[in-house]
Structure 1
Amino acid sequence: MAAVDSFQLLYAEISRSCSGYYEALAVVGAVYAASRAVVLLRDCCGLVRVHFLPRLKPRRKLSQRFGAWAVCYGASEPVATAYAEELARNGVSIVLVAQNPASVRDTAASLSQNYGVETVVVLADFSVDPAAGKLVQDAVRGRDVGFLVTSVDECGAPPRPLAEASEQDLLDLLNRNVAGATLLARLLLPGMAARGRGAVVNISPGGCCRPTPGRAALAAAAGFMERLSTALQLEYGSRGVFIQSLTPLQISSSRRPTWRASWLVPKPDVYARHAVSTLGVSNRTTGYWPHTLQLGLMRKIPEWIWLLGSHVFIS
Structure 2
Amino acid sequence: MDFWEFSCISLGAAVVLYYGVKLILFSRILFPKLFFPLPKSFFTSMGEWAVVTGASEGIGRAYAFALAERGMNVVIISRTKEKLDIVAKEIAKTTGRKVKVLVADFTKADAVNCIEDELKDMNIGVLVNNVAILTNPAPTKFLASKNLYQDIFNTITCNVKTMAKMCKVILPGMVDRGKGVIINISSGVTCVPLPLYVLYSGTKIFVERFSQALQIEYKDKGIIIQVVAPFSVSTRMSYYQKTNCFVLSPEGFVNTSLQYLRAGERINGTILHTLVDWFMRIVPHNMLTSDSMQTNLEEYVNKFVQTQNLQ
Same fold (TM over 0.5): yes
Secondary structure at the aligned position of 1:250 is classed as coil
Secondary structure at the aligned position of 1:287 is classed as coil
Could you tell me how far 1:206 is from its partner in structure 2?
0.9
Could you tell me how far 1:38 is from its partner in structure 2?
3.1
Could you tell me how far 1:139 is from its partner in structure 2?
2.4
Which residue is 1:218 aligned to?
Answer: 200
Q: Against the structure 1 CA distance between its residues 39 and 150, is the aligned structure 2 distance closer, same or farther, given a 3 Å change threshold? A: same
Residue deviations 1:57-100 (CA, integer Å, cap 9, x gap): 46241334422211111224511221221111111111111112
Q: Distance in 2 between matches of 1:103 and 1:55?
A: 38
Q: Is the 8 A contact 1:108 1:121 kept in 2?
A: yes
Which residue is 1:102 aligned to?
Answer: 82
Letter paired with 2:49: W
1:314 to 290, 297, 311: 297
Q: Distance in 2 between matches of 1:301 and 1:267?
A: 27
Could you tell me how far 1:254 is from its partner in structure 2?
5.0
Secondary structure at the aligned position of 1:110 is classed as helix
Q: How does 1:183-194 map onto structure 2 within 5 Å?
A: 183-194=165-176
Which residue is 2:124 aligned to?
Answer: 145
Q: Is the 8 A contact 2:38 2:259 kept in 1?
A: no
Q: Is the 8 A contact 1:198 1:242 kept in 2?
A: yes
Which residue is 1:177 aligned to?
Answer: 159
Are 1:159 and 2:139 counterparts? Answer: yes
Q: Is the 8 A contact 1:51 1:274 kept in 2?
A: no
Q: Is the 8 A contact 1:212 1:310 kept in 2?
A: no
Higher mean alpha-carbon deviation, 150-159 vs 65-74, is at 150-159
Could you tell me how far 1:35 is from its partner in structure 2?
4.2
Secondary structure at the aligned position of 1:277 is classed as helix
Q: Distance in 1 between matches of 2:199 and 2:235?
A: 23
Letter paired with 1:24: E
Are 1:270 and 2:252 counterparts? Answer: yes
Q: Distance in 2 between matches of 1:41 and 1:67?
A: 39
Which residue is 2:186 aligned to?
Answer: 204
* Greater Rg over alpha carbons, structure: 1
Which residue is 2:177 aligned to?
Answer: 195
2:67 to 65, 87, 94: 87
Q: Distance in 2 between matches of 1:118 and 1:171?
A: 35
- How many aligned residue pairs are there? 293
Could you tell me how far 1:284 is from its partner in structure 2?
0.8
Residue deviations 1:277-309 (CA, integer Å, cap 9, x gap): 122331111111111111001100001111125
Which residue is 2:24 aligned to?
Answer: 45
Q: Distance in 2 between matches of 1:234 and 1:108?
A: 34
Letter paired with 2:137: A
Which residue is 2:308 aligned to?
Answer: none
Letter paired with 2:141: P
Letter paired with 1:97: I
Higher mean alpha-carbon deviation, 78-87 vs 43-52, is at 43-52
Which residue is 2:112 aligned to?
Answer: 133
Q: Against the structure 1 CA distance between its residues 310 and 24, is the aligned structure 2 distance closer, same or farther, given a 3 Å change threshold? A: same
Q: Is the 8 A contact 2:52 2:74 kept in 1?
A: yes
Q: Distance in 2 between matches of 1:223 and 1:42?
A: 27
Specify every segment of 5 or more residues in structure 1 that has no aligned partner in the other structure, as ranges. 1-18
Are 1:24 and 2:5 counterparts? Answer: yes
Q: Distance in 2 between matches of 1:44 and 1:67?
A: 36
Are 1:123 and 2:106 counterparts? Answer: no
Letter paired with 1:211: P
Q: Structure 2 length as normaliser, TM-score?
A: 0.85
Q: Is the 8 A contact 1:63 1:91 kept in 2?
A: yes
Q: How does 1:226-241 map onto structure 2 within 5 Å?
A: 226-241=208-223
Q: Is the 8 A contact 2:52 2:77 kept in 1?
A: yes
Q: Distance in 2 between matches of 1:119 and 1:53?
A: 30
Which residue is 1:9 aligned to?
Answer: none
Q: Against the structure 1 CA distance between its residues 40 and 258, is the aligned structure 2 distance closer, same or farther, given a 3 Å change threshold? A: farther
Which residue is 1:70 aligned to?
Answer: 50
Q: Distance in 1 between matches of 2:97 and 2:59?
A: 20
Q: Distance in 1 between matches of 2:135 and 2:227?
A: 20
Q: Distance in 1 between matches of 2:68 and 2:29?
A: 22
Q: Against the structure 1 CA distance between its residues 47 and 269, is the aligned structure 2 distance closer, same or farther, given a 3 Å change threshold? A: farther
Q: Distance in 2 between matches of 1:89 and 1:55?
A: 22
Letter paired with 1:218: Y
Q: Is the 8 A contact 1:203 1:246 kept in 2?
A: yes
